[in-house]
Chain A
Amino acid sequence: MSRKVLLIEDEPNIAEAIRFLLTREGWHVETHAEGSDAIEVIQGANPDLVILDVMLPGKSGMEILRNLRELEGMQHLPVLMLTARGQSRDREMAENAGVSRFMTKPFSNAEVLTAVRDLHAQATRS
C-alpha cells in the first residue's frame, strides 16, 4: 500500500524539491498552496503524513494545526512543520499546538527524509 503525504506549502520551488525527494522514497505526494481551506483538503486527502508550512496565504500553519488537533481522529496524525521565521517562540507555539516535528528552513534534504521516516515508523508502531 502506498504511503500518502500531503504537502501544504505556498512556495512552489520548495514544494517541488520536497516532492522530488519523497517521491523517490516511495511516497505518494499531494500538494496544496493555500491556508484557508487546508483543513478540508487534509480531511479529504486522508494522508499518512502532513508537511505544513507556517506562513501561508489565508491562514497560518499554527492555526491550521490547532484546528486540526481539535478534530475527531486527527489527534495522532503526524505533522511535520516547516518555518522560515526561525524564532524560538515559534517552536514553543508549535509544540503547544500539538506538532509532531518542527524544522527550520533552510533544511538539509537528509534531515527531512529522516524526520519523515521516523514519524511514519512511530505512527505505524502505535
Chain B
Amino acid sequence: MATLNVLILVCLGYVVLLFGVAFAADRMAAAGRGAWLRSPLIYTLSLSIYCTAWTFYGAVGNAARSGLEFVTIYLGPTLVMLSWWWGLRKLVRVGRTQRVTSIADLISSRYGKSNTLAICVTILAVLGGTPYIALQLQSITLSFSIFAEADPSGLYREGSSVFWVAAGLAVFAILFGTRNLDANERHHGVVTAIALESVVKLFALLAVGVFVVWGVAGGIGPMMDRIDASEIGQWNVDAGRWTTFIFLSAAAFICLPRMFQVMVVENADEGHLRTAAWAFPLYLLLMSLFVVPIAVVGLDLMPEGSNPDLFVLTVPLSQGNDWLAMLSFIGGFSSATSMVIVTAMALSTMVSNHLVMPIWLSTQGGAGSVSGDVRNVVLMARRVSIAVIMALGYYYYRLSGGGAALASIGLVAFAGISQILPALVGGLFWRGATRTGALVGLTVGFVLWIYTLLLPGMGGAIMPDSVLQNGPFGWGWLRPQALFGIEGMDPMVHSVMWSLALNTAAFCAASLLSFPSPLERLQGAQFVNVFDHSVSPAGWTGSVAQSEDLMIMTQRILGSGPAQEFFQHEAEAQGGRTSLPEPTPGFLERLERELSGSVGAATAHAMIGQIVGGSSVSVEDLLAVADESAELLEYSSQLEAKSAELSRTARQLREANTKLTQISEQKDGFLSQVSHELRTPMTSIRAFSEIMRDTDGLSAEEQTRYAAIIHDEALRLTRLLDDLLDLSVLESGRVSLNLGGDTLGSILDRAVSSALAGSHLKLKIRRARPSERIPLNTDLDRLGQVFINLISNAQKYCDADEPVLSISAHDVGGQVVIDFTDNGSGIPPEAQSMVFEKFARVGGDKAGGAGLGLAICREIMQRLGGEISYLPGQGGAAFRVRLPLAHRQAAQ
C-alpha cells in the first residue's frame, strides 16, 4: 500500500501539473493562439465542476444507502440543459451585455444596481457555499485517512490534516483565482485546468467501474445478477423527495456561484450552449454509469459498518489494486480542488466587489477613485476573502462534527442557494419584478432556510434540541422541521417547500406592491428584452476635463496597459483629435461596463458617479428612456393623433378650397352680371345719343322718342347702382337700423301709394284694414322698402287681365305674418328657389328691373329679425313676410 508521503507527493505533482496547464493556456490565449481553448468542448468540460467530490464519492454512498435516489442529482441539470437551454442563453446574453461578474452582480444590476441586494446574495452565497466547501474538505480528509490507516509512520492526525487541507486549498485558490483582476476577462488558464480535471475524474470513475464490473464481478451478466439480488436494484421512488431533489439540483445548477462563473462569466460564445445542451448530459450519464455496480459490489465486499461514501477508494484497495486506488484518489482530489478553486474565485469576487469595495470607497470619500491604488485593494480584498471563505468552511466542518453524510450537506447547500432562483428567473422574464420584491423574497427564503435546515443540521451546538422538539419558547407551530403543524415530512422536502414557496410568494407580492425606480425600470427592460436591445440607452453626461480623472481611475482598476488601450480605442472611435475621448454618454456607459467587469456594477456606477458629478443620472434623463415600451406606445399614439390631425387639416383645407372656389365663381358670376346690367343701358344711351348727334334731319317725333329712351335708360342705370349699393351695405352687415313705431296699416298705405305713383299700369290692391291694426316697432323705411318691392313686382309681372294683389295680415304666435298674393300665373316651381338670388329674373326682363329687388328684400328681412319666403300653391305669385312681435315688446 502506498505511503502517505507518496500520496502527498502525487498530490503536489498533480497540482504542479495543473498550474503548468493553466499557465500554458494563459500564455497561448495571450499570444492569440489556441482557438481550441475557446471551443465548445472545453466549455462543456468546465461545466462539469457541477460534479464535485460529493458526486464523485457521495453518489456511490447515496446509492448504497438510498438506492436510485442519487440519480435525481444528475436529472436536474440534465433537464435544465435539455429543456431550458433557451433560458440559459438569455442568462448568458444578459451576463455578457451587462459585463456581469457574478450572480450577485447580475441580481444587483437587474434591480437598479442595488448594492443592498448584492450584499444579500453574497451573504447567501457564502453561507450556502460554506457547507459545500466543508464537504470538499471532508472528502479529501476522509480519502487521506483511508491511506493513512495503513501508513506505518503514524504521522497522520485527522484534526490537523483538515486544517492543512483547508490551508492548502486556500493557497491553491488564491494562486489560481486572483492572478487576473478582471473577473469578466476569460480565465483561460483556470478553465483549461478545470477541463483537464473533469477528464481526470471521469476517467478515474470509469476505471474503477470497469475494474469492478469486469475485474471483480466477472462481466456484465454476473454484475446484473448481483444488482438484481441487491436492495439497490429495487425501484423505490419517494415522489416528494424525488421531485424536491430534481428541482433542487436544477435550481442549484443555475444559481450556484461556481456554476454561474463557468456557465455565464467564462462563456466565450453563446453557441457553445448548443453543444453543451447535449454533451453535458452525456458527461453526467457517463459519471453515473458505474455508480450502482460500485455500490453493490462495495456492499458485498466490504465489512459491515464501512463508509459507503469511500467505496470508490476502498474497493480497489481491498482488492490490492493500489494504483487504481491512487487514480481514484486523484479523481476525487480533482473534483474537490476544481470546485474549491472556482467557488473561491466566484465568492471572493462577490465579497470584494459587494462588501469590501463599497466600504472601502465610502471610507476614502470622493478621493478614493482617483488616488489610492484600487487595483491592489481589489486584489487584496479577493485574497483575504478566499482565506476567510476557506476558514468558514473549515469551521463549519468542525462544528458539524464531520460525521454527517456527504449527500445531505450538499443538499443543504443546494437548498440555500436555490433561494436566489425566484429573483433571478423573475428578473429575466418579468419586467414587473422590483428591488423590494427581490429583497423581501430573498430575505424570507434565506431566513426560513437557516431556521428549518441549516441550524437543525449543525447539531445541538447552535440550536438546542428543545427548540427542535417543541419549537422556540415552546411554540409548537414554529418547530423548525414541522412549520405550521405540518408533521411527518422529510426535513429536506419540508424546508425546500416552505422556503421557496414563501420566497416566491413574497417576491411576487412585494413586486406588485412596490414601485420600481427609473434605473430599475431601465435595467428591467434591458434584461427582459435583452435580445431586442443592441445598445443600451445613454445615462451619463460629463465634461471633457473629467476624462483625465476617469483615465487615472481606470488605470488604477484595470492596470495602465488595458486602460490606455481602452481610452485610445474610444478616442479613435470619436474621431481621434485628442488622445483622451470626450466623456459622451456612450463612452461613459462602456467605461462603466468595462469597470464593472472588475469591481461589479454597483461599485463601478458609484465610482464613475463620483467623478462625473452628481451621484448618477438625473431622474428626468432616466425617466425619458426608462420605460421603452411605454415611450414607444406613447410615440405611436402621438403619431396616430398627428396623422388624424393631418387628415383633419387636409379635409378642412379641401373644404375651405371648395368654398373659396365657389365664392370665387359666385364673385365672377356676379361681376359678369353687374357688367352686363351696366353695359346694356349704357349701350342704348350711347347708340341713341350718337344717332341724335350724327344724324341730320331727324323728325321732331323721332327726337322726342330717342331722348325719352336715353332718359329711361339713364334712370335704369341709377336704379341699378342704388340697388347694388343698398345690397352691398345690407350684405356687409354695416347697416344701422332706424327704429320707429307705427301700425302695419299706415306702413302699407305709404308703400302702396309710393309703388303705384306715376305708373300707367293698373293694379288693384285688396286689403283687410281691421287686421292691419298691429303696432310695429322696427325700421319703418326698410320694411316699407320690402313692401314697395313686392307691390311693384306684382305690378310688373302679374300677367292676369285684371291684375289684383291681395294683402292680408295675421298675428300668429308672437309673429306678424303678411301675405302678398296676386292672381297671375305665378312662378314656375323650378324657379321658386331662385327668386331670391341676385339677378334672378324670371321670365325675361320686360319690366327693366336688374333682378336685385328680392335679394335686397331677403337681406332686409334678415336684418329686421324676420324672413321673406315664397308661398307655393296660392294660384298666383305669393310672398310671405314674417316679423317677430318681440321686437315691439322689447322696445316698449
Residues of A within 8 A of B (CB): 10-11, 13-14, 16-18, 20-21, 24, 55, 57, 84-87, 104-110
Contact = CB atoms under 8 A, between A and B. Distances in A.
A14 to B, nearest CB: 5
Nearest to A53: B680
A122 B709 CA distance: 34
Most buried by B among A13, A21, A57, A87: A13
Interface of B: 672, 675-676, 679-680, 682-688, 690-691, 694-695, 709, 712-713, 844
Contacts of B684: 11, 13-14, 17
Contact of B683 (A14, A20, A57, A87): A14
Contacts of A13: 684, 687-688, 709, 712-713
Contact of B690 (A10, A55, A84, A109): A109
A10 B675 contact: no
11 contacts: A10-B844, A11-B680, A17-B683, A84-B675, A84-B680, A85-B672, A86-B679, A105-B683, A106-B687, A108-B690, A109-B694
B679 A21 contact: no
B879 to A, nearest CB: 23
Contacts of A108: 686, 690
A99 to B, nearest CB: 18
Contacts of B712: 13
B226 to A, nearest CB: 118
A97 to B, nearest CB: 18
Given A17-B688, A109-B687, A57 B844 contact: yes
A42 B675 CA distance: 28
Chain B interface, >50% SS class: helix
Contacts, number: 61
Given A16-B709, A17-B691, A109-B690, 5 more contacts: A13-B712, A17-B683, A87-B672, A106-B682, A106-B683
Contacts of A57: 844
A108 B690 CA distance: 8
Contacts of B676: 55, 84-85
A31 to B, nearest CB: 15
B682 to A, nearest CB: 5
Nearest to B702: A20
Contacts of A105: 679-680, 682-683
Contact of B691 (A21, A55, A87, A104): A21
Contacts of B679: 84-86, 104-106
A85 B683 contact: no
A106 B675 contact: no
Nearest to B681: A13
Contact of B675 (A11, A18, A85, A107): A85
Contacts of B682: 105-106
Contacts of A17: 683-684, 687-688, 691
A107 B683 CA distance: 7
A20 B690 CA distance: 12
Contacts of A11: 680, 683-684
A86 B673 CA distance: 10
Contacts of B709: 13, 16
Contacts of B687: 13-14, 17-18, 21, 106-107, 109
A20 B684 CA distance: 12
Contacts of B675: 84-87
A24 B676 CA distance: 28
A73 to B, nearest CB: 31
Contacts of A14: 680, 683-684, 687
A105 B677 CA distance: 11
B671 to A, nearest CB: 9
A57 B831 CA distance: 14
Most buried by A among B682, B683, B686, B688: B683
A108 B682 CA distance: 11
Contacts of A10: 844
A86 B677 CA distance: 11
A87 B676 CA distance: 10
A17 B698 CA distance: 13
A21 to B, nearest CB: 7
Contacts of B685: 106
Contacts of A110: 690
Q: Closest 9 CB pairs between A and B?
A: A17-B687, A84-B679, A13-B684, A106-B683, A105-B683, A84-B676, A106-B686, A106-B682, A109-B690
A25 to B, nearest CB: 12
Contacts of A104: 679
B221 to A, nearest CB: 116
A57 B686 CA distance: 23
A105 B678 CA distance: 10
Nearest to B712: A13
Most buried by A among B680, B687, B688: B687
Nearest to A112: B687
A17 B683 CA distance: 9
A85 B669 CA distance: 10
A10 B685 CA distance: 16
Nearest to A34: B844
A17 B675 CA distance: 21
Contacts of B713: 13
A82 to B, nearest CB: 8
A15 B816 CA distance: 47
Contacts of A24: 695
Contacts of B844: 10, 57
Contacts of B683: 11, 14, 17, 84, 105-107
Nearest to B686: A106
Nearest to A11: B680
A57 B712 CA distance: 22
Nearest to B713: A13
Nearest to A20: B691
B681 to A, nearest CB: 8
A24 B844 CA distance: 30
A107 B687 CA distance: 8
A92 to B, nearest CB: 14
Contacts of A16: 709
B672 A109 contact: no
A21 B690 CA distance: 10
Nearest to A82: B683
A107 B679 CA distance: 10
A84 B120 CA distance: 101
A57 B688 CA distance: 24
Nearest to B693: A109
A23 B783 CA distance: 49
A54 B683 CA distance: 14
A60 B675 CA distance: 17
A109 B695 CA distance: 11
A51 to B, nearest CB: 13
A103 B707 CA distance: 25
Contacts of A20: 691
B711 to A, nearest CB: 11
A105 to B, nearest CB: 4
Nearest to B668: A87
B648 to A, nearest CB: 36
A21 B687 CA distance: 9
Nearest to A107: B683
A55 B676 CA distance: 9
